[in-house]
Amino acid sequence: MNFKSLLYTLDSATLEKLYQNYDTIGTERETDLTKKSIKYFIKHIDKNSKTILDVACGKGFLANKFVKMGYTVSGVDVHEDKKDTKFSYTKGNIENLPFEDQSFDIVTSTHTLEHIIDIKKAVNEIKRIAKKQIIIVVPCQNFYYYTLDMHIHFFPQKEMLTSLIGLETYSIKKVGGDWIYIGKK
């Protein structure tokens, strides 16, 4: 329960290790996205693009969906190498992504930003490596100090996310308890 108090005293290596070893019933789920969120997300993805990077890809749920849709897919996560995936995997941190500028047509990140200490740096990294489209999903949730989650940022209003990302051309919609932000570069 002290996580939210101790968070800002942890260095990034300790925090990364904490997330790698985080084990709750929630980590057993295939994805944190609802079926409605997934359907909306897929419907609005740029069909003319070829390459996608899924940032904080976890077990690869979305990355594997994108592969089935015909995209060339890469995933990046703080966890160790993924075995038996149908997409390219790189171990890395969202605050310092190991890719060149505009490396991917589309960059996605779902249920991740709420966990990141330097959230502005993470968003700037996503924008840096995206060529055409950015899709970010965060839970629409109020701050509760005593909750059993590892969320440190909260987005009860859509403006909190839109002002953070700062792209001029975007859409944002609340779907199934999530804010789904789709930005064009």
Class of the domain covering 3-184: alpha beta
In terms of pTM, does the model score above 0.75?
Answer: yes
The DSSP code sequence of 21-43 is H---GGGGSS-SS-HHHHHHHHH
* Cα 76 to Cα 63: distance, rounded to the nearest angstrom: 10
Rg of the chain over CA atoms, in angstroms? 16
* Cα 112 to Cα 103: distance, rounded to the nearest angstrom: 20
Length of the chain, in residues? 185
pLDDT of residue 3: 60
* Cα 78 to Cα 91: distance, rounded to the nearest angstrom: 6
* Cα 55 to Cα 121: distance, rounded to the nearest angstrom: 14
- Domain ranges, ordered by start, for the chain: 3-184
Q: Which pLDDT tens digit goes with each residue over 101-130?
A: 999 999 999 988 887 888 999 999 999 999
Q: Which pLDDT tens digit goes with each residue over 119-163?
A: 999 999 999 999 999 999 988 775 554 455 666 777 778 998 899
With a cut of 70, say whether residue 84 has pLDDT above it: no
